[in-house]
Chain A
Amino acid sequence: MFRSTNVAARVFERQILTPRPGATINLVRHFYENLVPSCTICDIDCPDHSFRKITDDGRYLVSFSRNLQDIIVYRPTWLSFSFKGGNFDYQSLTQKAKKFDSFFTQLYSVSLGSSSEFICKDFFLYLEDHQFGLFATSTAQSHEVPAIEGAIHGVPSIEKITFHLVRLKDGVVMDEKSFCNDFVNLAHSMGVFLYEDLLCIMSLRYQTIHILQVRDSGNLVDVRNIGSFCLEDDELFLNSHAQCMTVLNKSKPVGNVHESANGIHHQQVAQASAFLTGIKQRLLSFIFRKAWSEEADPILRVQHLKKKFYFHFQDYVDLIMWKAQFLDRHHLLIKFGSVDGGVSRSTDQHPAFFAVYNMETTEIIAFYQNSSEELYSLFEQFYDHFHANSRESVHANFISSHSNNIHALEQLWSMKNKQSSFSQFVKKMMTSVPYTCQSQSPSPYFDVSLFRYDEKLISSTDRHRHSTDHPIKFISRRQPNVLKFKIKPGLETSGAEARTKKICSFLFHPHLPMALSIQQTYMQPTVVNLHLRIWMELEVVVIPVRMFWIEGLALRG
C-alpha cells in the first residue's frame, strides 16, 4: 500500500518498500491509478478490419479482413517523440499521434480462408509459450441435416470446420485440423478450451470430446477422444466382439467401416448401436452407485433407487454434453443438458448437470445438478480454479473474480441477497460454468480493487455491449468520489442518430495504458477510437528531483 497518491512519491517509495509475499503484482498495479488512458483519439483513421483481440502478453493485435479471408497481425508499439531546444512543436506531435500507424505496426497478412470457407471472427485462442494462435475457418451452417448413425438430432451441421495453428511471429501456418459434417460451437471460442498445451474440442454433433496436444514443433496431435469410447482399447474390444458375432451369424451382412476426418468409425453393425456411449455408461453407473449408497436398508434402497434413478433413467440417457473444460491436465468438467436446452437462456425448463470426469481412470468423480448448493459453495470459494490457469500464465492469475477480490465478493453477495429465490440465483450463476477460456482481459483497469465501473457497460469479458452516449466512468476505489478517467465509446451524436442501436466492444492492452473501442452502428461504417495516456508530463517532473534524493535520505536517518 502506497502512502501517497502522487506518482513521483510512489516511484520513490517503491524503491524501499517490500511488498507482501506473492503480492508484488498487486502492489505494482497501483501505478495504473496514476497512468490512465484519459485521452481519446476519436474515429482514428485505421484500416477497415475486424479487430479481434490484443494477445494477453501484449505482443500482437489480431484482426480479420472484412471478407473474413485473411488474418492481419499488428505489433502494438508506442509513439515516441523527442525534440531539441526550447520550441516544442505540439502540432506535429498531435498529427503523428492521430495516426493508427504510430501505435500499431503491421507485421503480415495471411490468407486462411478459401472461396467456401470463412474465418470465424469470434474465434481466437493464444498459446503464450510458443506465441501460437489458433484460428478457425468454417463453411456455412446448415440446419436441415439428415440424421445419421452416431449424430444426434437437433444439432446443426457444418460441412467443414478447420482449426489452423499459426505462429504469430511470422504468420506461418504450422498445422491444421479438420472436422467434417460436425458442429463445434465456435462463437466466442466456447466449444474449445485451452489449458497449457492441451486443447479440448467439444463436437456437439457426434457427442465426442477431442483432446489434442499442441507440440513445440507446432503439430496438433490427437491424444484421446471421449464419447463413444472412454479408454483407448474400448473400441478394439467392441469391434472384436462384433466381428465374433458376425462370424457366427454369417447371414447378417457386415457393416461398412469407413473413417472420416473426425477419426470416428461409423459402424452399421446392429450390436454397436445397442450399447450406450462410453461416457453415458460411466455417468449412469455413477448415478446408480450414488443412489445405491445413499440408503443402507435394502428394502428402502430399492424404493430410493426407483425414485432417484429408474424414474429418471430415460432423462439421463437423453442428456447430451454441451460444453467441457479442463480443471487440470487429467480432469474435465462437462456440462450436460437436454438437446434443446443448450441455446435457450432460461434455466427453468431445461435442467443442466455438471460432471467431473477423470480422463486417466475414466471415472466420473462428481455429478451435480445446476441448482446444487454444494456446487455453488465450491463456485463461490474456488472460482479461480474453474478458470484453470496454468501457473505460467502470470496475467490471467490476477483477473478479478469473487474468489480473489473482496469487492467482487461483496458484489456477488449483494446480488445473492437481492434475489428472492436462492435456487434461481444458483442456476443463474452456474451458467458461467464451464468457463470459456481467454474470454477475460487481464488489463489492470478492470481490477476491481483499483477502479469502480459499471459492469453492464464495460467489463473484462470481451462481449459486445450496447453503447451509450454517456462516457463510461472509472472511479477510484480507494478515493470513492474521485473520477480517474472516462472512456467515451463513440462520436458525439445528434438526436436522430442517437436512437439507432450501437454496439460497442473494447480491446484493452494488457499492460500499456491503451485501449481500442470499436463502435458498430447498423448500416454505418465502424468507428474505432483509441484511448491512451499521453506521457509528456511525467518526464519533466521526475528527473531533477532525483539528484537530491540520497542526501535527503541520509539527513533524515
Chain B
Amino acid sequence: MGSLLGDWPSYDPHNFSQLRPADPSAQPSKLTPATYHPTHNRTLPPPNQVISTEARNILLRHFYQKSEEKLPPKRAASDHPTSEHNCKQPRAAYADGAH
C-alpha cells in the first residue's frame, strides 16, 4: 500500500485503506536537501578552541569585576622603586599638617 502507517493493527481492516501518498513518483528518501557552503572563512572558530562552562558563577564574576574597577591591581615591588621612596618623604609634611 505504501502508506506511512504501514500495516499497523487496527480493529477495522478498512481503516487507512484510503491513504495514498500524494505524489507516487517522489520518494522522500531519495531527495537530498540543498547544502549551503560559506564563501569566506571569517567566522571559523580558532582551531584549538574549547568551549566550557565558566567555573565562577555570575555573581562572583560581578564582584571581581567591580573590585577590579575600583582597585587597580597591585604593582610588583620591582617596578618604580624610586616612587616608593617618594611616597615616604612627604610623610613628615603630612604629620605636621595633621597636628
Give A contacts to B, CB under 8 Å.
289-290, 293-294, 298, 302, 306, 327-328, 331, 356, 365-366, 374, 378, 382, 385-386, 551, 554
Contacts and interface: CB of A to CB of B under 8 A. Distances in A.
A366 B64 CA distance: 8
- Residue of B16, B56, B67, B72 contacting most chain A CB atoms (<10 Å): B67
A327 B15 contact: no
A358 to B, nearest CB: 9
B60 interface: yes
29 contacts: A289-B71, A290-B71, A293-B70, A293-B72, A294-B70, A306-B98, A327-B59, A328-B56, A331-B60, A356-B60, A356-B63, A365-B60, A365-B64, A365-B67, A366-B63, A366-B66, A366-B67, A374-B66, A378-B59, A382-B58, A382-B59, A385-B57, A385-B58, A385-B59, A385-B60, A386-B59, A551-B15, A554-B15, A554-B16
Contacts of A378: 59, 62-63
A294 B69 CA distance: 10
A549 to B, nearest CB: 13
Given A289-B71, A302-B94, 11 more contacts: A294-B70, A306-B98, A328-B57, A328-B60, A366-B63, A366-B67, A374-B66, A385-B59, A551-B10, A554-B5, A554-B15
Main secondary structure of the interface of A (DSSP, over half): helix
B24 interface: no
A290 B67 CA distance: 9
Interface residues of B, number: 21
Nearest to A364: B67
B81 interface: no
B56 A298 contact: no
Across the A-B interface, give the 10 residue pairs with the lowest CB-CB distance, nearest first: A385-B59, A382-B59, A366-B63, A356-B63, A365-B63, A385-B57, A365-B67, A293-B71, A366-B67, A302-B94
Nearest to B87: A298
Contacts of B67: 365-366
Nearest to A302: B94
Interface string B65-78: 01100111000000
Nearest to B91: A302
Contacts of A328: 56-57, 60
Nearest to B53: A391
Contacts of A365: 60, 63-64, 67
A392 to B, nearest CB: 15
Nearest to A286: B71
Contacts of A386: 59
Contacts of A551: 10-11, 15
